Chains A and B, each alone.
Chain A
Amino acid sequence: MEGLTFDLAKTGLRELNQYLHGSAESLAGKEVLVTNPDGAHNIAVGCNAPVKVTIDGHAGYYAGGMNQLAEITIHGSASTGVAENMMSGKVHVKGFASNGAGASAHGGLLVIDGDAGLRCGISLKGADIVVGGSVGSFSGFMAQAGRMVVCGNAGDALGDSLYEAVIYVKGTIASLGADARLEEMTDADLTGLGELLQQAGLDHDPASFKRVASARSLYHWNADANQEY
């Protein structure tokens, strides 16, 4: 593997991102180290090649945003919207993640070793999110597809207005959001969850998780259900 280092204390963010937007052929198998990120926003956004990016420190907003194919590791914490709208590839936050982690992500895997803030997995559209710690309130809000795994606890209004996404929680759930309900874990859940935990490098018994999914009662207008539309 060929290595390349971008020291953000000396090099501008634009240079880093432009390099990462090179052709898939030129970047395939490359390893890029980003040093002194110092909380800069928009690190490694719009990647579109199977490149490995290691961020050595804390990242600001939207780290790994709209990622396709790249494998991005943050050796620190990530601010709002890490891996937002990811399509494929992997983003791994070794520390904590702020609000809206994995927002609207369509594919790929987001792993957060620590806790995640509010609205983790909001509008999720097919990606998988595994959180080693706990998630804040309104996580999984309007999540449409994909899976979110919470190894710690979940805050209030978990899975509010869920569509077809499924949430697995090991710890406590402060409260469920509108139309979210607890369901039995099936064999398929146990198998899939086991694989996800393995991919995330986390050692938990899948059988110790609860499944949260949509009751689908908000899918259609219904005046008699006294729903708050």
Chain B
Amino acid sequence: MSEHPIQFKRVQKEESALFDRGTMDYIHRASTTGLYEIRGLGAKRKLPHFDDLVFLAASLSRYPLEGYRERCVTKTVLGTRFAKKPIELDIPITIAGMSFGALSANVKEALGRAATAMGTSTTTGDGGMTSEERGSSKTLVYQCLPSRYGFKPDDVRRADAIEVVIGQGAKPGGGGMLLGQKVNPRVASMRTLPQGVDQRSASRHPDWTGPDDLAIKIQELREITDWEKPIYVKVGATRVFNDVKLAVHAGADVVVVDGMQGGTAATQTCFIEHAGIPTLAAVRQAVDALEDLDMKGKVQLIVSGGIRTGADVAKAIAMGADAVAIGQGTLMALGCNRDVYFQDGQPVSAEADYAALGTQAGFCHHCHTGKCPVGVTTQDAVLEQRLQPEWGAKHLKNYLKTLTMELTTLARACGKQDVHHLEPEDLVALTVEAAAMARVPLAGTQWIPGWRE
């Protein structure tokens, strides 16, 4: 048998690292449609994250708490700077802002019920406050967004805190998006939009520009609420050090920093994957800003963007966050990307519906289509029935309970009677990147790349 070049099959099928199959698919799709890709959820690429940190738990040099017996406090107070009625939560894990429109009313109700059962807060989103959410959520944070869809003084007054949204981790610098198939009559009416319109929200607030204006806007919200309610300011993580300082100068009680892994119901993929900085780097910069202003502990910091586990929560708190906010994780607790949905407790396969979207459970990011196979991110009258509020609330409560137990497990192992006593000194990094971003030493060394005292 003669040797012919064609027999060297691996040479014939050498994949390009630059133009890999995903990139080629991207180009083929772009050349077919002439429109950028839009999808839901957050960054899918691998980024430095909390997984790249580990705890230096107690041993001889530190004393642990009895893991199953000794008390470990999780109580969290937000908005102590100016508000007469700060937010008091039983756990430092809150539900991130997600709109009615992106999510169904059933989901909003499930979020509220679970949060109330766990003593934490939920947050509205672009599109106003639903009665389902207000009714079910004991502590409700009301977002003031650039679009001001459904923003009403009566709802400002019945909220427990106001969150002025400057940006979102998934798309800092961009406005929201809700495609026509999700703009059903109720959503359209709440947002004062024509039914079925492809809604593209504003990215700038209509009545203020820049931090000096924001200070006056915050004062307006304080005056309207008679200085009772905490005012949060939420920023998408980009120039975090400066943005947090400006938010504090503008009078925020609480700053919410949303890293680039944060989710969205719909935006351009190029935005999700290529704008903003990882949550890990964002927390460090936000804490630096608060410390620089001597505002650590006076202005509270909520961190969001890819928080999934109790370990993520513990690490964010150890780095200096007062609380975290979770969006995508809560939706997954409600069944997002699960192969079944539940009707009266019985599992029903959703696989055919995933297939109809060209995907399968575990890979789905089709929130923008409104055809969520498990009834979470939909406004369809039939699909939304797939998420029953009671079932959802129970599962989300379990998820939040699990995270809280994991959080206190790690805190006790580090010898802390209060989860807020976790500190950067409890952490080391597994990668050079994470060590530099989080500014903790690489494990087994005292090396923090790029850091000079």
Residues in chain A within 8 A of chain B (CB atoms): 13-14, 17-18, 21, 41-42, 45-46, 48, 60-62, 65-66, 68, 80-81, 84-85, 87, 100, 103-104, 106, 119, 122-123, 125-126, 141-142, 144-145, 163-164, 219-221, 223-224, 229
Contact = CB atoms under 8 A, between A and B. Distances in A.
B206 interface: yes
Given A145-B192, A223-B34, 10 more contacts: A17-B223, A42-B220, A46-B157, A60-B216, A66-B220, A104-B206, A163-B197, A221-B35, A221-B198, A224-B34
Interface in B180-201: 180, 191-194, 197-198, 200
B34 A104 contact: no
* Overall SS of chain B's interface: loop
Given A42-B220, A45-B224, A60-B216, A87 B153 contact: yes
Contacts of A60: 216
Contacts of A48: 153-154, 157
B202 interface: yes
B271 interface: no
4 closest cross-chain pairs (CB), A and B = A46-B224, A223-B34, A81-B207, A103-B206
A221 B177 CA distance: 12
A123 B216 CA distance: 20
Contacts of B220: 41-42, 45, 61-62, 65-66
Given A66-B224, A80-B207, A103-B207, A85 B151 contact: yes
A21 B226 contact: yes
Given A14-B223, A85-B153, A100-B206, A106 B192 contact: yes
A215 to B, nearest CB: 13
Contacts of A85: 148, 151-153, 207
Contacts, number: 109
Contacts of B148: 85, 103-104, 123, 125
B153 A41 contact: no
B208 interface: yes
Contacts of B35: 221, 223, 229
B154 to A, nearest CB: 8
B226 A18 contact: yes
Contacts of B207: 62, 80-81, 84-85, 100, 103-104, 122
B27 to A, nearest CB: 16
Contact of A45 (B151, B194, B223): B223
A146 B147 CA distance: 16
Interface in B199-242: 200, 202, 206-208, 213, 216-217, 219-220, 223-227
Contacts of A164: 194
Nearest to A146: B192
Contacts of B226: 14, 17-18, 21
Interface in B327-382: none
Nearest to A20: B223
A159 to B, nearest CB: 15
A61 B218 CA distance: 11
B452 to A, nearest CB: 43
